[in-house]
Structure 1
């Protein structure tokens, strides 16, 4: 069973978010790449969970 994913953790930079292990940033155990996977809040901001996909379809380019 997967662990519950934290919406806005206090210090997301201390953890790798690439799998369900949530390894410490300085002790990556899963081998899921060479670097730490960032939390969406680090990339998109604290309101990342309220974002939705744009429902309008893009016009085709010629």
Structure 2
């Protein structure tokens, strides 16, 4: 079973997000090359999960705290 994907990790820059191992950036198990896969929050910002279809279930609390003003 896959691990639950974190919406707002504490230090996303320290981890490779390329698979379910979530390895430290300097000790990747999957051997996907020399660079780590970034967390979407690093690329798209705090509300990354509101844009697009990520295929994850977002708790209502998270939706309310990061709602986009209209």
The TM-score with structure 2 as length reference comes to 0.70
Following superposition, which runs of at least 4 residues in structure 1 exceed 3 angstroms of deviation? none
Structure 1: runs of 5 or more not aligned? 54-62
The DSSP-based 3-state class of the residue aligned with 2:19 is coil
Q: Does 1:2 align with 2:2?
A: yes
Bigger CA drift: 44-53 or 8-17? 44-53
Structure 1 residue 7 displacement after superposition: 0.5
Structure 2: runs of 5 or more not aligned? 54-70
Q: Which has the larger radius of gyration?
A: 1
Equivalence for 1:52: 52
Equivalence for 1:18: 18
Alignment size in residue pairs? 53
Equivalence for 1:31: 31
Quick check: which one's helix share is greater?
Answer: 2
